[in-house]
Structure 1
Amino acid sequence: MASISTPAELRRRIRSGEHTGNTSGLAAGFVQCNLVILPEAWANDFLRFCQANPRPCPLIAISAAPGDPALPLLGDIDIRSDVPSYRVFRDGKLQEERNDITGLWQDDLVTFALGCSFSFEEALLADGLEVRNVTEGVNVPMYRTDIDCQPAGPFAGKMVVSMRPFRAADAIRAIQICTRFPSVHGAPIHLGDPAQIGIRDLERPDYGDRVSIKPGEMPVFWACGVTPQVALEQARPPLAITHSPGCMLVTDLRNSQLAIL
């Protein structure tokens, strides 16, 4: 893809169908968000689920009113067309993926934009740390765990995590850096033996792509914004729309605005 100077330009390309892939490493410096869209009748319980589980579900913005596809605090956004790929769930089951949801839009839908780990990747890179999924040009690997989320109404389930490998000294530095960004998952939740959090095989992520782990490196795991998709499977709302893993809403909010100094 040719150079992209602004998030607005990237969203224009997404809206026109020029870009349909993952957004990792694009529009450097700007916050990327996970996405959950639900009918109004389900929105309050999901909001409580986010508040109860801020590590995997850090809430950045919510639509001003049901049926409003704009998120003005995050930019000139039409949420129906400005994400590269959407997942559509009906009664908790994934039905399809599509690049535009205008034809599915309803006047009772509420949009939630949640913080994404792609934002803290920039801080890791700026500190000289290698982020393997960026180096290898793939989507970050994501795994279901056996860690229970705090339930809220019908929403419950196990946490999903993303993984990046580091040497021990770099893992410590990554923890220090990411602690400054609680709005985009914050510090890792686990490092080392994946079996301790219920992951059986690092070579087979549940979402995203595998990355290489070099001798002397350990896997480091962060809470992941795909977690709500697991909760949606259990809650089974009649309609729910999310981003496809790795295909985020790119906003005009700068990553630096989320840092705790």
Structure 2
Amino acid sequence: MLDTPVPPTSPFETAAALRLACREGRFAAPTSGHAKGYQQGNVVILPRDLAADFLRFCVVNPKPAPILGVSEPGDPALPMLGEGIDIRTDVPRYRVFRNGDPAECLTDIGDLWRDDFVTFVIGCSFSFETALLQARIPVRHIDAGRNVPMYVTDIQTHAAGPFGGPMVVSMRGFSTVDAIRAMVLSAQMPQAHGAPVHFGDPAAIGIKDINAPEFGDAPILNAGDVPVFWACGVTPQSAIRTAKPEIAIMHEPGHMLVTDLPTDG
């Protein structure tokens, strides 16, 4: 008889504890598997004059860009997502784009902060991983302490103003039975990208080599696994490359803002 898999543990039981560790420089790793039960979010920070167009991009692309919260211009707080959040320090790692190209990776963006910055927080598939673990469905990258693999596809997003480009997806491999269960569970969480956009042959969505993701770590696929692909909140990084703003700040892929919102809320 096979043993029932036990969900891996994390030193951070609450979102606030993980954010504090980021703020104090004690945590700068991928957030998958941490602070279980709390929604995680992708971060996009843009100058105010681009905020309306980016908001429209999210509205017309709800699968890769479900909005969890938007800040007031120049305000680093996001009270709708958690008490005491400071977006300048509470993400493990940030990726800074200049004119559409990644320029640097930082753990604190206080020195870059501007009065016209608007922060968008977009739902993340890490949020439904809690439901998978509670259902005793193995999540291979969490078990291995690795980042989820993410791929640029040939699925085009709907353009809004200067923002557009290809959809990015995250992938998890499951047995056939667990793949079906994962699809059903994730479909109940539209703010975490909902049901997958594809499963099976990666070439059908333009992925040439499943072992070479553009973001994250190489996948872990056991014999007989079915690859399942979800729309990913890294998709706005494609949109940033298309729009080429003078500056944009996002999370490093896999390094999310962990909010106080419950995953079952």
Task: Output the TM-score relative to the length of structure 2.
Answer: 0.95
Equivalent position of 1:242 in the other structure: 250
- For 1:222, the aligned partner's letter is W
Equivalent position of 1:161 in the other structure: 169
Equivalent position of 2:4 in the other structure: none
User: Residue 264 of structure 2: SS of its match in structure 1?
Assistant: helix
2:108 aligned with 1:70: no
Q: Is the 8 A contact 2:22 2:28 kept in 1?
A: yes
Equivalent position of 2:16 in the other structure: 8
Instruction: Call closer, same or farther: CA 1:85–1:150 in 2, change over 3 Å.
Output: same
Q: Is the 8 A contact 1:87 1:241 kept in 2?
A: yes
Task: Output the TM-score relative to the length of structure 1.
Answer: 0.96
Counterparts of 2:217 and 2:161 in 1: how far apart (Å)?
32
The partner residue of 2:49 within 41, 49, 67 is 41
Instruction: Call closer, same or farther: CA 1:218–1:5 in 2, change over 3 Å.
Output: closer
Counterparts of 1:17 and 1:156 in 2: how far apart (Å)?
34
Equivalent position of 1:201 in the other structure: 209
Q: Is the 8 A contact 2:88 2:108 kept in 1?
A: yes
Unpaired runs of at least 5, structure 1 = none
Counterparts of 1:122 and 1:35 in 2: how far apart (Å)?
20
User: Residue 81 of structure 1: SS of its match in structure 2?
Assistant: coil
Provide, for residues 219-256 of structure 1, a one-character-per-residue CA deviation record: whole Å limited to 9, x for no partner: 10000000000110010011100000110001111101
2:24 aligned with 1:24: no
Equivalent position of 1:130 in the other structure: 138
Kindly state the Cα deviation for residue 4 of structure 1 after the two structures are TM-superposed.
Answer: 2.2
Q: Is the 8 A contact 1:136 1:211 kept in 2?
A: no
Counterparts of 2:10 and 2:137 in 1: how far apart (Å)?
25
* CA RMSD after TM alignment: 1.1
Kindly state the Cα deviation for residue 5 of structure 1 after the two structures are TM-superposed.
Answer: 3.0
The partner residue of 2:237 within 229, 236, 251 is 229
Provide, for residues 28-57 of structure 1, a one-character-per-residue CA deviation record: whole Å limited to 9, x for no partner: 110110000000000000000000000000
User: Residue 210 of structure 2: SS of its match in structure 1?
Assistant: coil
Equivalent position of 1:170 in the other structure: 178
Provide, for residues 136-159 of structure 1, a one-character-per-residue CA deviation record: whole Å limited to 9, x for no partner: 110000000000000000000000
2:124 aligned with 1:116: yes
Q: Percent sequence identity over matched residues?
A: 55
Counterparts of 1:4 and 1:165 in 2: how far apart (Å)?
26
